[in-house]
Structure 1
């Protein structure tokens, strides 16, 4: 049976142009989603064709992201993976630009860590040396931190 032959009249409260589905969106043809232009899926997104995700332009997947083609992820541009990050290709991580890992940090390539730019580790670095007593203040060596120490004589000049 063709899609056009399965159409029914609109019911009160349904969207304009909805044919067979029970969604709430314009142009929903066969699905039961809530999005404009959804054809066969169950999703909630604009232009979703066959998937059941919640994202704009999702074609076959069930993810929640813009441009998710075959995966079930939640990120913009997630092609094959199930991650939640923009530009994630094959991984299942939660970070922007993460290629293959499953971490949660921007720029983390392969690790499981939770920190910005942490490469392969799985820790949560804070920048504090564990061997330094808690009462010691560790400051980065910048002109804003070094100049006052030199002025008051607490730091000798090199």
Structure 2
């Protein structure tokens, strides 16, 4: 994994969870969707995806999610990739393999490694609800915030 790829993954975790939730958990790997800095909800076993359906807005028929882990991976996504990627469970390395596969499917690695992070973010917005333009009805971060998180994590930006 290149330093830009690692920084991009760290940026996704920052975007999905926030630094306080990451710090108050197992680096984000055991976090359930809906966690807040003052109320971090975690799961205890990495043997499989927790698969807990969490009500996100308290409205009947409203927003629900099974997202979990550092990259907030949905239960159905984990099930879809479990065999294909040879996952042992929902361990940190398994979560990273899934996130890397999702980025690969978005054809964003070339942009990440070239430092064109704004383009990579745009390509990956369908996979992570917190990225700008995702359109899932959840909080989306501004590009400037994401670029700061990316460079803070050690990533390099393309400067023309």
**Pairwise TM-score range, normalised by the shorter structure:** under 0.3
Normalised by the size of structure 1, how large is the TM-score? 0.20
Structure number with the higher helix fraction is: 2
Where relative contact order (Cα < 8 A, 6+ residues apart) is larger, the structure is: 2
Length-normalised TM-score, structure 2? 0.20
Larger Rg: 1
